[in-house]
Amino acid sequence: MKLFKLIVLCTALLASPGLMAQPVHRTPAHYTPLPSIVEGAGAEQISLNGAWRFNPSPPSAFWMLKDISLQGWTTIRVPSDWTMQGFTVPPGTPAGYIRSFEVPRSWKDRTIILRCDGIQSEATVWVNGHPAGSHLGGFTPFELDVTPFVKADGSNTLAVSVMNESLADTLASGTQYAAYQFGGISRKVTLFAVPRVYCSSLSINTDLDRRYETAQLEVEFTISNTTAISASGGEVSFAVENGRGNNLLLKQKTLKLPLIGAGGLARQKFSAIIEHPEKWDPEHPRLYFLTMTMSHNNRFVEVVRKRFGIRKIEVVGSQVFVNGSPVKLRGVNRHETHPLLGRSLTNELWRQDAALFREANINYVRTSHYPPAEEFLDQCDELGLFVELESPLCWVGHGANETWSKQNPHSNRFSELILQAVRETIEFNRNHPSILMWSLANESAWGPNWVEAKRLADSLDPTRPKTFHDQAVGQYNNYGSTSMPIANIHYPGPKGSETASAFDRPVLFGEYCHLNTYNRQEVLTDPGVRDNWGIGFARMWEKMYTTRACLGGAIWAGIDDIFYLPGGKTVGYGPWGIIDGWRRPKPEYWHVKKTYSPIRVNNTRLPVPAAGEPLLLQVSNRHDFTNVNELSIVWRIGTDSGHASADIRPHNDGILPVFLNTPPAPGMTLSVDVSSPRGFVIDSYSIAVGDLPSPHVVTRNDETAMKLDTAGQTMTVTGKRFSLVFDKSTGALTSAEFDNRTILVGGPTLMILEQRCNECAPNFSLETKPLNETCTAWKTTSVSVAQHLDTISLIVKGSYAEAEGEYRIHILPNGELDVRYAFACAKDINPRQYGMVFYAPTTFDQIAWKRNAQWSVYPENHIGRPEGSASARRTGGEFRFREAPTGDWRFDRTDLGTADFRSTKSNVVQASLRDSDGNGVGLKSDGTHSVRSFLDGNRVALFVADFNSGGGEIFFAPHHAADDHPLKKGDSVKGAFRLTLIGAHP
């Protein structure tokens, strides 16, 4: 014991400021379970979160300070990182933290332990001026025995020296990934007391028999004796209760402890059989509680209570089985991230993240690229989410990390820290039943160090499979090292499932279907690319689901990685999440919920049933563990409603009968909501019953002979309620009036938007400019107008810098405009959209639409909903730096209007742009057109697109390539649509 203290003292001194580049003491990876009860000790835990004193350039030996209010020190919140708190720390130098604390008098004869859950990324700790220890690594916890230094009858001082530019930060790519200096005490700090003879480590494992009907509980624990005498007469009793508080009958309940010498320890094992266990899986997250009561000579000493789950993980052939059932991972990647808190979150955010993912039908989270706070794992245990827990090792030997251009990632120099990161990751988190597998690293170069890491991981936890997200030079498609039971591929593209099918082991798409991010101009201009993403994603998932060897995958990503720094700068990789940093669902969130839905109702239309017969729904049950009869299924049709149920086992198809109380009439709609017993709606469907009635087409009865006036510099067409004025020299529409109200003030102008993407870099900026340019440098070749029977036709020929051709406007007596155009491209181009733009006065800021949508049901606040309206201007949608938005994501506003207003509505059957009185212009379509509106200075643009695709995001591009329409020089862009001038009164 004295030798250990001497080692700690020496190594802590070596880690003092000025010597931080020297090797530091590696704290052993053992973690004391927090005590539930310690006899006579009062409060056993003290949170040291809250206000600390901080100095970014502390004086030497600052840990000896008695007055922590001295000049140069200020208040900082813990946990947090210093950059997000507005501090700047000189690179490569340690910052100083200091605070006072008191402990109860009852702790005087106790062992006192300091637990730090995360300090970025090199820390040295002093208590009352005494060096207590040090740690290297920012994403894994460490604990120190501070008993000799703590005064139980007075005030104490805790000081921590923190430097971020360390080898651990490099190996984790922590600061590089955050795009700002990520340093400080970023996770909670806890002081707790245990007896002098106490439980110092605890591992709970479970196994199931071949029928998965009987569980074997294996408890491994360590008893440490910190006294100066031997400890004998010890005994530990065990109790297990289920989540309802019922105690289980155990054949063996107690374990006698051996003699433990002074300063020694004893590693012990306890086994118990649990008959007919309530097994844990993400669809039934059933938890048990293990209570260990330690006594000494029949005197109660300590109680430790730990939550666990019973489940068995097996890799058999090309599949992963949990409790004997094959699983398919519907996943997402997750960072610990918040716009103002950085990577230091709160209990509310951890709970909210897990709940939002679960309600999106996600059953698996990859913790890219480091272990999360244990509080998030607690939520995954409780709410039901599989977790792939990744060690804090990212881009080791990968070109994305500039450090490795001059380093050999396989050098022995990195071996110790790599092994430490893997060991601490597993040792601290191993008791969470939600953890399905361990990931050793992200996108790193395989080599000898990882062979040793795999060997270590297997020895620490043989109950879970391991994986490795390797990075071949210059590639993003990685198959994983052959020694890993689970292979990995990043961004496999639409043919990834074909690649996976050739494997004889499970293949995980560790990152796939990247959200629109690096096409920053496209996303800013047209949020509709986020809605379009759902098409390619759904196609990809269907292939993955039906490929046996494809274990599933994790979408990149779960939450936006954008940080608003206190100094006014915005950094991060950008808006790549299905929810934003404020935890608001974005358009992709609904597509994930629908695509990942484990319940599929396959009917798109139902026949009217015979009297007394039910409606029959074809249902695919894609759950891994849940029978359909466990779900709540509520249906509605007209004023009739009820519940439905069927016995359809997991991974099976079946018929769900809906027995109506009243016979339905043709054209009615059946609504179905399927809810989980865990309290959220899994999926919703809207299904037509019988043939829909033919739509009633209203023809405006105001057709009279039109007049054409070509005198002067304009051409004017006048009808009963309208007038159109065209410029004779350019052919452009200068004015369109209906019922003496100006409806249009310009157009048509050709728009050909090329797919455009930026580099993959953390260069997100609020200064991004929109990508909304129409074709330029128009030169008119000819303008002609002719009247034939009841139609007046305008034919305009000319050229832009980008294309050459013509457009024709056929004007009908009721004021409808039949627009046709054809232009030849002047260069090769891969367009995102092309079509024609018309302009209206600024008061025309309301767009409405009906369209053929991807899904039959959408939330009312989704920009891709089948029917709706949106306003360009909404109070409350303005962006205010470092302020949480007050409304839905769809109301977020730029100079182009709200996200809802400026987003493309695809496959429309009708749309209109109106003012508040109801005047406007409408579009009639057969479902092949897309429309988009946006504010354009002193006017409002209405863009009617004959071609629309998903954008230029580099990682997702292969998925929408099937929908692209690349053009060669001379190829034609053409289209046709009909506009209607609308008055406030029919």
- pLDDT tens-digit readout, 119-128: 999 999 999 9
Query: Who contacts 63 (Cβ-Cβ below 8 Å, separation ≥6)?
Result: 96, 98, 126, 129, 157, 159, 161
Task: Say whether pLDDT at 4 is over 60.
Answer: no
Note the pLDDT tens digit of each residue in 837-881.
999 999 999 999 999 999 999 999 999 999 999 999 987 778 889
Half-sphere exposure of 901 (CA within 13 A, CB side): 27
Alpha helices in 526-650, H assignment, sequence order: 528-545, 587-595
pLDDT band at 544 (very low <50, low <70, confident <90, very high): very high
CA distances from 223 to 148, 226, 292, 295, 635 (A): 20, 10, 12, 12, 58
Note the pLDDT tens digit of each residue in 754-780.
999 988 889 898 889 999 999 999 999
Task: Say whether pLDDT at 3 is over 50.
Answer: no
Which whole number is the average pLDDT over 76-101?
95
The reported pLDDT for the residue numbered 699 is 53
| CA–CA gap between residue 289 and residue 394 (Å, rounded) | 35
| CA–CA gap between residue 323 and residue 452 (Å, rounded) | 30
Task: Say whether pLDDT at 12 is over 50.
Answer: no
Q: Which two tokens stand for residue 118?
A: 């995360």
Task: Say whether pLDDT at 620 is over 90.
Answer: yes
Average pLDDT of the chain, as a whole number:
91
In 3-state terms, what secondary structure has residue 457?
helix
Q: Which two tokens stand for residue 438?
A: 């361990």
CB 170 within 8 A of CB 137: no
Task: Say whether pLDDT at 5 is over 50.
Answer: no
CB 515 within 8 A of CB 576: yes
How crowded is residue 917: how many other Cβ atoms within 10 Å of its Cβ?
Answer: 11
Residue 284 pairs with which residues in a beta bridge? 281
Task: Say whether pLDDT at 445 is over 80.
Answer: yes
pLDDT band at 400 (very low <50, low <70, confident <90, very high): low
Amino acid identity for residue 764 in this structure: F
CB 434 within 8 A of CB 365: no
pLDDT band at 43 (very low <50, low <70, confident <90, very high): low
| CA–CA gap between residue 675 and residue 663 (Å, rounded) | 25
Which whole number is the average pLDDT over 939-954?
95
The reported pLDDT for the residue numbered 695 is 55
Task: Say whether pLDDT at 646 is over 60.
Answer: yes
pLDDT band at 28 (very low <50, low <70, confident <90, very high): low
Task: Say whether pLDDT at 311 is over 90.
Answer: yes
The reported pLDDT for the residue numbered 700 is 54
The reported pLDDT for the residue numbered 703 is 62
Lowest mean pLDDT among 67-81, 381-395, 424-438, 520-534: 67-81
CB 887 within 8 A of CB 876: yes
Give how far the C-alpha of residue 45 lies from the chain's centroid of Cα atoms, to the nearest Å. 33
| CA–CA gap between residue 199 and residue 761 (Å, rounded) | 47
| CA–CA gap between residue 30 and residue 427 (Å, rounded) | 7
Note the pLDDT tens digit of each residue in 214-252.
999 999 999 999 999 999 989 999 999 998 988 888 888
Query: Who contacts 858 (Cβ-Cβ below 8 Å, separation ≥6)?
Result: 590, 864, 865, 866
| CA–CA gap between residue 895 and residue 538 (Å, rounded) | 32
CB 157 within 8 A of CB 127: yes
Residues in the chain: 986
The reported pLDDT for the residue numbered 71 is 78
The reported pLDDT for the residue numbered 22 is 34
The reported pLDDT for the residue numbered 344 is 97
The reported pLDDT for the residue numbered 759 is 87
pTM: 0.94
Which whole number is the average pLDDT over 113-123?
97
Note the pLDDT tens digit of each residue in 332-372.
999 999 999 999 999 999 999 999 999 999 999 999 999 99
Note the pLDDT tens digit of each residue in 920-934.
999 999 999 999 999
The reported pLDDT for the residue numbered 587 is 98
| CA–CA gap between residue 371 and residue 434 (Å, rounded) | 13
Task: Say whether pLDDT at 701 is over 50.
Answer: yes
| Nearest residue to 437 via CA among 485, 491, 500 | 485
The reported pLDDT for the residue numbered 27 is 46
- Strands 791-799 and 779-788, bridge-based pairing: antiparallel
The reported pLDDT for the residue numbered 8 is 30
Half-sphere exposure of 257 (CA within 13 A, CB side): 31
Task: Say whether pLDDT at 20 is over 60.
Answer: no
Q: Which two tokens stand for residue 97?
A: 């933290």
Task: Say whether pLDDT at 474 is over 70.
Answer: no
| CA–CA gap between residue 662 and residue 683 (Å, rounded) | 25
